[in-house]
Amino acid sequence: MSELVNNAARSLAGATAGDAAQLLRGARFMRLGRSRVGAMLGSLLACQGAREVRSGEGGAGGTPAMSLDPAIDIVIDDQTAAAGTRIEAADWRRADPRVIYVRFTDFPRTHPRWSDRSTLVDEMIHAELGLNRIGGGVPDPEPLSMASAYGAIWGAIHVVASLKARDESGSGNHVEFPLFAAGITVMARKLLELDDKRLVDPLTIPHLPLAEIYACADGRHVQMQGHSGRFVEAMLKVGGCMEWCEAASTGLHLLPDRASEEMWRARLSAMFREHPALQWEEQINAAGGACTVCRSRAEWLNVEHADAAGIIVKGVKGPAGAAGREPVPVVPAVRAFAAGPAGSAGAGAQDAGLRSAAPAMPAAKAGANTGLPLAGLRVVDFAIILAGPTCGRTLAELGAEVIKIDAPVRPTSMYGWLDVNRGKRSIALDLTRPTGRDIALRLMAKADVVVENFRAGKMDKLGLGFADAVRRKGDIVYASLNAFDFGGSWAERAGWEHNAQAATGMQMARARDGTPQMVPVPVNDYSTGLLGAYGVLLGLRRARAMGTAVWVGGSLARTASFIQSEELAAAMSGGREHAPAPTQAVRCADGWVRILIETPEDSGKLRQIEASLAGGTCAGLLARLRAEGIPAVQELTVAELQADGSLDAAGLRVSWQHPHWGAMQQIAARPEVSGFASRAGWPAPDPGDNTDEILAGLGYSRPEIADLKRSGAVSERVALFS
């Protein structure tokens, strides 16, 4: 797994200066373990120019030999040994108080399953997160390394936030991020609860089965998607079934019953069997719809768009040895381009590039800072659905003031809205009206960061693109997130979570009987938003140091490729994927237990324990296994996770009173951090909840605000639920 880091570094060595900003050039990091989460964090740092320093082998207890090099900026502690046989944060901090020490564990210290000895095995963490039992039945291990991927991304965010704090204070940081706390992010929408059960999420009631996988004439499958009538129209126009259009559009978000939903599913299934998959993809996208062929990972590697967009960097040679020198793919999870000195007219992000190397790491300043690392920064958030708003929410958690610009309409997923928009204020603007656009530009002129997640070119057409922002704020950081990235022939395609899953091989990798399966959680949405926040933090350091505007780009397809980077490398080389650690699910009288089998002796002990506890409870089996030193966790369902109290014990759930919708509970993932704080914020506002106060902050008088509302440029609050 260290090849993830090596390949990222080699790809940078061959890149030209105009390719992308190396925003961590000059930083040095060391990994202490060999876990996937550590490798993925190393890759995220190396792709931005940081250099890995190798630790010596043969330390006590099988850990790397300690080398307390004061030139190391970041230590990634992904050791799995127990205390007493491991290198500890205190050792590094004594040697260099400036070091940023990131430790990964399985669980938070206040979680009932906390242990000083971690496994860092995804299947074990997924069991406690409910990911292996999304459907509630027999455990079905989640094949994606979600906990490791989210741990790495959250780790990268806190590394750069810590570097920013160190630039100002001279002090390092100790970050402890449990994989359980990182992975809970992907479950947040499922775990959000409103006490008023009349407030139902529309996604849970009968509706047109548009966002589904359909079999085609050639035996292949496509993933359909869309959220408005125009996507229904595009699909039915290509299918020659326009007579269904009015009824289908009416039922897009609400049908009378499940029988009606099944009727439409049968109709659409028959329609899609009329043509081959690629024809559907090409023609529906050309008509303005959203349709993606369910490809394998190997096919995704050979899609021209993936190369043209720079999602997959090919031609990087592996090391000599048994694996040969096969090319392996590298996925820079975010890309960044500088736009020139502050105050310049600016240019399009793709044209700007970088004409000179980035500076080395800035020298630290004296002082101390234990507050919110982004306090005093203002973010203007244009984003919709999940990915972009997750970026804004993450920046708010770190202290930024986030103003969300919303259309004056009700969102289609109220529970998703409540999840990703806490800690923000909202203004409802009609950006198609000149006055609405002018208000948005005034907000951008006062902002440090802009976040948007529309198709490539849409913000430019509105006059709100990167170049427009730079003309008003020469050192702005502008983050753009979308489905398929910002180069290549798919850049302007519409797409959502499931389209990215289909394109990049995620759905085919979990196929059953040849039928691709959706990933049951929005793994790419949330992680793309988090990677956007990582890119913004990188950009803020660059903007501060150089006085330049920075464009940051990310996409669902890029993120999906990063999450699968090791599997894509195996697909390209024809080699075997990394074998996961051997785990086993054991049935008990009241549920299931997942066990990590580390040695042949563990297998023998397990057989004896199973025989003696046949028909026993999960608690009884867990107690015996832990007494024998065998790692074990319970396979929870989502409902069991909600009810077992571990989220509250670990401080990962907040309960508060929404000003409009009453008592609610939701997830707020956070690590333990020594050098600064983070916050959950406050309940998400309804669209337009703060319109008047935001306009007043721009200098508008009450009569002017009333005129703006009468003109339709701004709107009163739009109630989230009807």
- Using one digit for the tens of pLDDT, what is the confidence trace for 598-621? 877 777 777 777 777 777 899 999
Task: Indicate whether 343 pLDDT > 60.
Answer: no
- Given a contact cutoff of 8 angstroms between Cβ atoms, the answer to whether 10 and 326 are in contact is no
Please give the residue that has the higher pLDDT: either 6 or 259.
259
Per-residue confidence (pLDDT) for residue 608, from 0 to 100: 76
User: What percent of the chain has a predicted confidence (pLDDT) above 70?
Assistant: 87
Q: What's the whole-number mean pLDDT along residues 469-481? A: 96
For 622-637, what is each residue's pLDDT tens digit? Answer: 998 888 888 999 999 9
Q: Is 710 helix (H, G, I), strand (E, B) or coil?
A: helix
| Token pair for 330 | 């590298």
Q: Which two tokens stand for residue 517?
A: 């399966």
User: How confident is residue 5, by pLDDT bands cut at 50, 70 and 90?
Assistant: low
Average pLDDT over residues 515-524: 97
pLDDT at residue 692, as a whole number: 98
The predicted structure's pLDDT at residue 587: 92
Are the C-beta atoms of residues 143 and 123 closer than 8 Å to each other? no
**What pLDDT sits at residue 683?**
98
- The confidence band for 654, taking pLDDT boundaries of 50, 70 and 90, is very high
With a cut of 50, say whether residue 59 has pLDDT above it: no
Which amino acid is residue 664, in one-letter code? M
Report yes or no: 140 and 583 within 8 Å, Cβ to Cβ.
no
Q: How many CB atoms lie within 10 A of CB 425?
A: 19
Q: Is the pLDDT assigned to residue 1 strictly greater than 60?
A: no
Rounded Cα distance between 180 and 184, Å, is 6
Res 71: pLDDT: 79
C-alpha to C-alpha distance for 154 and 181, rounded to whole angstroms:
10
pLDDT band at 2 (very low <50, low <70, confident <90, very high): low
Residue-level pLDDT at 7: 56
- The yes-or-no verdict on residue 9 having pLDDT over 60 is no
More confident residue, 146 or 318: 146
For residue 581, what pLDDT band results from cuts at 50, 70 and 90?
A: confident
Q: What is the pLDDT of residues 415-454, one digit of tens each?
A: 999 999 999 999 999 999 999 999 999 999 999 999 999 9
Q: When comparing pLDDT for 180 and 64, which is higher? A: 180
Reading the block at residue 96, the tokens are: 């260099």
Residue with tokens 């931005």: 48
Q: What is the pLDDT of residues 345-378, one digit of tens each?
A: 333 333 332 222 333 333 333 333 448 999 999 9
Tell me the average pLDDT of the chain. Answer: 87
Instruction: Judge whether residue 494 has pLDDT over 80.
Output: yes
Domains along the sequence of the chain with CATH: 3-189 (3.40.50.10540), 202-297 (3.30.1540.10), 583-644 (no CATH)
Q: Which pLDDT score is estimated for 399?
A: 96
pLDDT confidence tier of residue 192, bands split at 50, 70 and 90: very high
**pLDDT tens, residue by residue, 157-189:** 999 999 999 988 888 999 999 999 999 999 999
> Among 78-82, 400-404, 524-528, where is mean pLDDT lowest?
78-82
Summarised one tens digit per residue, pLDDT across range 93-124 is 777 889 999 999 999 999 988 988 899 999 99
**Confidence class for position 655, pLDDT limits 50, 70, 90:** very high
Q: How far is CA 404 from CA 69, 115, 279, 449, in A?
A: 44, 40, 39, 12
Looking at per-residue pLDDT, the higher value among 19 and 492 belongs to 492
Q: In which band, very low, low, confident or very high, does the pLDDT at 331 lie, cut at 50, 70 and 90?
A: confident
The least confident of 193-197, 257-261, 399-403, 454-458 is 454-458
- Over residues 240-249, the mean pLDDT reads 96
Band (pLDDT 50/70/90 cuts) for residue 141 is: very high
pTM here is 0.92
Of 227, 221, 192, 224, the C-alpha closest to 207 is 227
Confidence of residue 202 (pLDDT cuts 50, 70, 90): confident
One DSSP character per residue, 18-73 reads: TT---TTTT-EEEE-S--HHHHHHHHHHHTTT-EE-PPBS--GGGPPBP---TT--
pLDDT (0 to 100) of residue 68: 58
What are the residues whose beta carbons fall under 8 Å from the beta carbon of 306, sequence distance 6 or more?
A: 300, 312, 488, 557, 561
pLDDT of 4 reads 55
- Asked if residue 70 has pLDDT above 90, the reply is no
The band of 333, judged by pLDDT with boundaries at 50, 70 and 90, is: confident
pLDDT tens-digit map of 390-422: 999 999 999 999 999 999 988 888 999 999 999
Find tokens 């797994």 and name the residue.
1
Question: Which residues, 6+ apart, have CB-to-CB distance to 477 below 8 Å?
Answer: 448, 449, 450, 536, 539, 540, 543, 549, 550, 552
